[in-house]
């Protein structure tokens, strides 16, 4: 449909335009290269597809401004960390107040009781633990699952991503892995219930860890009845069901679990849970909590040494942010404009695809949308086969140069409570113009 030479030519034109419009960012990039690996504080910050990254000056609401004074309507929103908008006022205030009253102390803060109650109300699970990142929360949830069940393996869906959790990193591209992941994890397709059952029947699976909608392989929506079947199968075969809500929190207050009545044994959520302050949580049922206490009681060593960390987890700053987020962000009032705005953007994108007679699709889970360059995939392998990296690269650059940020290595858009309908319209117009240029 799109000639690859034209796509490459557009990408080159857009890269040149970006360079011409970003002299200050270019100067920063020169200095950064001297002391940061890959020229950035985190090596994947180069993955925006621009010749060098636009250097952030400020992120407020759903807007980003770079050091060149370019303004962007931000639909990436820190790949979900800023799903409720950048620096939500209630969270920013709570952090500022707490910052002067202690940052880290290894003691439960005075807000811990209120936060535990709030998490239990929000997600419907009675017991909780905090970590710094969703990666850490998944690691801990899996450790507990193995300890409780005395089984070694984790079942995941092919194409999944749950953070840099070594023992389930079946994706290609991992650097320096110390273990043979095939011994600790098994992957089946998202639409393969027979495969799930066969894996569970081995008796080696401690837990099935999954996102209720796959959001890291394009976006793959579940087949009807999947969640009920997974709950039933895991129960029948004595494996724990862990739902990773880190991205599907976009569904509504309490995530996909609340919106669709899932019954996980454990639930993990990070990124936006505390409004963008480093913080993640995992929750579990009373039965799982009793089994965890059983594991702890059977040990003879000191209590602290469980292999689960980390020193800064559950610090007062994160607790303050989480308390503010629970009170002011995880509410129906906050979600109403997110869900309505995302639905409107969804309709506009669908209309654009129809008008341009493109056999693509738009998938959506609440406030989170993704364009796929194919018909709706049913699993991670189909989603990967439908990807067009060169086209995606050109489109991202074109949109970025017109003031619209999409998530790198995704066609993902998030609609925050403070996103503007005008910006969504601008995004659709720019995408239309881009497709017109390539066609
Ligand atoms: C579903 C899911 N879970 C967990 C994580 C890990 O989050 P973090 O990188 O904040 O640890 C990610 C990251 O993209 C994710 O997409």
Closest ligand 1 atom to Cα of 80: 14
Query: pLDDT value at position 410?
Result: 85
Q: Please, what is the Cα angle at 300 between 294 and 306, to 5 degrees? A: 70
Global pTM value: 0.98
Q: What is the pLDDT of residues 140-179, one digit of tens each?
A: 999 999 999 999 999 999 999 999 999 999 988 788 888 8
Token reading at 266: 């454990």
Q: What is the pLDDT of residue 301?
A: 67
Alpha carbons 153 and 168: distance in angstroms, whole number? 9
- The Cα–Cα gap between 362 and 357 comes to 14
pLDDT value of residue 305: 80
Q: Scanning the structure block, which residue is given the tokens 């609440």?
A: 366
List, as own/partner pairs, every contact residues 313-316 make where C-beta atoms lie below 8 angstroms and the sequence separation is at least 24, other chains included. Answer: 313/130, 313/131, 313/132, 313/136, 314/108, 314/109, 314/112, 314/129, 314/130, 314/131, 315/103, 315/104, 315/105, 315/109, 316/98, 316/101, 316/102, 316/103, 316/104, 316/105, 316/109, 316/111
Q: Is 216 a pocket residue for ligand 1 (Cβ < 6 Å)?
A: yes
Distance, in Å, from the CA atom of 59 to the CA atom of 65, rounded to the nearest integer, reads 6
Average pLDDT over residues 356-381: 96
Average of per-residue pLDDT across 354-375:
96
Q: What is the mean pLDDT of residues 355-379?
A: 96
139 lines ligand 1 (CB under 6 A): no
What mean pLDDT do residues 84-108 have?
97
Probe residue for ligand 1, chosen from 136, 157, 217, 270 as the CB with the greatest number of ligand atoms within 8 Å? 270
Q: E-strand spans in 123-184?
A: 127-131, 153-157
Q: How confident is the model at residue 381 (pLDDT cuts 50, 70, 90)?
A: very high
CB 248 near ligand 1, within 6 Å = no
Mean pLDDT computed over every residue of the chain:
96
Q: Is 406 in the pocket of ligand 1 (CB under 6 A)?
A: no
CA distance 280 to 39: 28
Tell me what the mean pLDDT of segment 261-269 comes to. Answer: 99
- Weakest mean pLDDT among 126-135, 186-195, 297-306: 297-306
Cα dist from 399 to 6, 246, 359, 364, 427, whole Å: 17, 26, 21, 20, 7
265 lines ligand 1 (CB under 6 A): no
Report the alpha-carbon distance of residue 341 to residue 416 in Å, rounded: 8
- Is the confidence at residue 89, as pLDDT, over 80? yes
The confidence score (pLDDT) of residue 299 equals 82
Residue 222 in contact with ligand 1 by CB distance below 6 A: no
pLDDT in tens, 397-423: 999 999 999 998 889 999 999 999 999
pLDDT exceeds cutoff 70 at 302: no
Q: What percent of the chain has pLDDT over 90?
A: 91
Distance (Å) from CA 39 to ligand 1 centroid = 23
Backbone angles phi, psi at 209, to 5 degrees: -110, 125
Residue 340 in this model has a pLDDT that exceeds 90 = yes
Least confident of 3-7, 147-151, 279-283: 3-7
- Largest distance between two CA atoms of the chain: 68
Ligand 1 and 270: CB distance under 6 A: yes
Q: What is the pLDDT of residues 32-74, one digit of tens each?
A: 999 999 999 999 999 899 999 999 999 999 999 999 999 999 9
**Pocket of ligand 1 contains residue 11 by CB under 6 Å:** no
Q: Whose CA is nearest to atom 7 of ligand 1?
A: 134
How many Å lie between the centroid of ligand 1 and the Cα of residue 246? 6
């Amino acid at each position: 449909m799109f000639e690859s030479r034209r796509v490459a030519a557009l990408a080159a034109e857009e890269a040149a335009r970006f360079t011409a419009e970003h002299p200050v960012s270019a100067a920063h990039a020169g200095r950064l290269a001297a002391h940061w690996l890959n020229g950035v504080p985190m090596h994947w910050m180069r993955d925006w597809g621009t010749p060098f990254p636009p250097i952030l000056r400020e992120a407020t609401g759903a807007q980003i401004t770079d050091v060149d004074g370019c303004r962007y309507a931000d639909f990436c929103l820190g790949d979900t960390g800023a799903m409720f908008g950048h620096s939500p006022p209630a969270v920013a205030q709570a952090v500022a107040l707490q910052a002067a009253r202690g940052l880290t102390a290894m003691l439960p803060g005075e807000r811990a009781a209120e936060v535990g109650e709030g998490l239990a109300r929000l997600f419907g699970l009675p017991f909780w633990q905090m970590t710094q990142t969703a990666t850490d929360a998944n690691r801990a949830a899996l450790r507990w699952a193995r300890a409780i069940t005395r089984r070694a393996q984790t079942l995941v869906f092919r194409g999944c991503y749950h953070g840099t959790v070594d023992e389930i990193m079946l994706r290609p591209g991992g650097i320096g892995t110390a273990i043979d992941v095939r011994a600790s994890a098994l992957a089946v397709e998202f639409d393969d219930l027979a495969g799930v059952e066969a894996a569970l029947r081995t008796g080696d699976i401690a837990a099935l860890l999954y996102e209720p909608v796959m959001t890291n392989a394009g976006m793959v929506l579940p087949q009807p009845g999947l969640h009920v079947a997974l709950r039933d199968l895991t129960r029948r075969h004595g494996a724990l069901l862990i739902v990773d809500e880190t991205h599907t929190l976009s569904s509504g207050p309490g995530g996909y679990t609340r919106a669709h009545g899932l019954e996980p044994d454990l639930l993990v959520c990070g990124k936006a849970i505390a409004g963008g302050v480093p913080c993640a949580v995992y929750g579990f049922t009373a039965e799982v909590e009793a089994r965890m206490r059983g594991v702890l009681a059977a040990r003879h060593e000191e209590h602290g040494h469980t292999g689960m960390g980390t020193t800064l987890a559950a610090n007062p700053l994160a607790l303050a942010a989480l308390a503010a987020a629970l009170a002011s962000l995880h509410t129906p009032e906050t979600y109403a404009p997110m869900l309505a705005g995302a639905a409107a953007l969804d309709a506009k994108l669908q209309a654009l695809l129809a008008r341009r007679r493109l056999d693509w699709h738009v998938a959506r889970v609440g406030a989170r949308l993704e364009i796929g360059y194919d018909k709706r995939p049913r699993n991670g392998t189909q989603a990967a086969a439908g990807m067009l990296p060169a086209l995606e690269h050109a489109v991202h650059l074109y949109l970025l140069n017109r003031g619209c940020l999409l998530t790198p290595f995704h066609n993902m858009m998030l609609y925050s409570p403070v996103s503007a309908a005008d910006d969504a319209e601008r995004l659709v117009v720019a995408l239309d113009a881009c497709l017109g240029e390539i066609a």
